[in-house]
Amino acid sequence: MNFADTFKISTPTDREIRIARVFDAPRELIFDAFTRPELLKRWLSGPPGWSFVVCEVDLRVGGAYRFVWRGPDGAEMGMGGIHREIDRPERVVNTQKYDQDWTGGEAEGTLLLFEQDGKTLSTNTVRYLSKEARDGALASGMDQGMIAGYDRLEALLPALQVEGTA
């Protein structure tokens, strides 16, 4: 089975965006990969040419995390927040805010890990705290808000195929 096929982006409510993926590993390992800086640096390094310049995680309730990436042209992108709930190995809830405020406001992220027969379903849900924040994310053209736009665009695409070929 190709696990990359299990990748799915959805908008379960009008304030949420969810990325789901199945990994061929027990959830303790995935929990660590999402929460330990030395492991995060190995995979969440950004698009080609980008890398972490700051990757700090204080994995305690009320503890902060901070990520900054730098691109090939020297541009930096930063985000961070506070941990609200930590329940190893199945759940992390945190706040998320981008330095450039592309999302239009602070959002809440929930990582949930379900394990079955040694495989783990990971769902990463971002919930915007207000309609304004969600709409700001949608209008931003950057970040997770793009995904909500994606669903909508996808719904439009069959109709647009006709026009595109004209």
Partner 1 sequence: MTPDRLDATFAALADPTRRAILARLASGEASVTELAEPFAMSQPAISKHLKVLERAGLISTGSDAQRRPRRLEAEPLAEANQWLERYRQFWEASYLRLDDLLDELKLAKKAPSRKKRGDPRP
Positions touching partner 1 (CB under 8 A) are 3-4, 7, 9, 19, 21, 23-26, 28-30, 32-33, 39, 42-47, 59, 88, 135, 138-142, 145-147, 149-150, 152-153, 155-157, 159-160, 162-164
What are the backbone dihedrals phi and psi of residue 162, each rounded to the nearest 5 degrees, phi first? -60, -50
Distance CA(96)–CA(99), nearest Å, equals 10
In whole angstroms, the minimum distance from the beta carbon of 146 to partner 1 comes to 5
Distance CA(23)–CA(13), nearest Å, equals 25
The CA distances from residue 72 to 81, 98, 131, 159, in Å, are 25, 20, 35, 38
The nearer residue to partner 1, 55 or 147, going by C-beta atoms, is: 147
In whole angstroms, the minimum distance from the beta carbon of 156 to partner 1 comes to 6
In whole angstroms, the minimum distance from the beta carbon of 105 to partner 1 comes to 15
